[in-house]
Amino acid sequence: MSLLVSEQHRISIRRAKYGHEENRIFDERGAKRCYEPTLTARLGTIITGTYDAKFPIAPGDGASGIEASVMMTKTFEPSGLGVYGEFGYRLRDHRVPHTIFGTGGLSETIKMNWAIDSLTIYAGYRALADLNGPDLTGTRVSGTPSDYFNIRYSPTAKEIYQMGELGLAMTDRKGCRYFFSGGHPFDGRNTGKVNNFIIGLQWPLEIK
């Protein structure tokens, strides 16, 4: 049984906490060849949050674990056209399925030489696939104006989704990065049929 669940729900702000370490393998700014990209290895930890993991389409699966990924970016000067991608693996406890995930897309960076040093617009593809686990189960319930499924949710369910995304990022002269993105799922299995929005801030940490 394949379900792409349409569900309105309240998301707890007490999400799982993430910590990670990144190590840049190659830096395109010092590359000898014009096609060499920036490659970064990332290792992260996942700590169980305080939300109810059995709540339908919860913000997490109530499990701790680790994840690792390799990220690639390349910007072609002077046009500003770029490509980016990431591929990773996630391992968690409490019988939560092992997961592979990835992203890929195109970007265009415009130099502003102002308070905002650069502006980047990007469009891409995001996917996630659990490697094991059962499907969600449920029963059809008669309702008005239409029938619906009463889903018995399980954090061990095998989730798969494919999503298209659009985003906007700005970097100031101090190196701080502000970004916003929105994604829409176009295919999936045991996952929420909801749009995904991300607002974030990154700033450099200087250690002397």
Cα distance between residue 72 and residue 79, in whole Å: 19
- Kindly give, in sequence order, each residue whose CB lies less than 8 Å from that of residue 184, ignoring residues fewer than 6 positions away: 163, 164, 165, 195, 196
Beta bridge partners of 185: 163
By CB atoms closer than 10 A (0-12, 13-18, 19+), residue 90 is buried
**8 Å CB contact between 128 and 161:** yes
The pTM for the full model equals 0.78
Beta strands in the chain (DSSP E): 4-5, 17-26, 38-47, 65-76, 81-92, 99-111, 116-130, 137-141, 148-152, 160-172, 177-189, 191-192, 196-202
Predicted confidence pLDDT, tens digits, the chain (208 residues) = 334 443 333 333 333 445 556 677 888 888 788 888 999 999 999 888 787 777 766 777 888 999 999 999 999 988 999 999 999 999 999 899 999 999 999 999 999 888 899 999 999 999 999 999 999 888 888 888 888 778 888 889 999 999 999 999 999 988 899 999 999 999 999 988 889 899 999 887 765 5
Alpha helices in the chain (DSSP H): none
Q: What is the DSSP letter of 96?
A: P
Tokens of 8: 């309105």
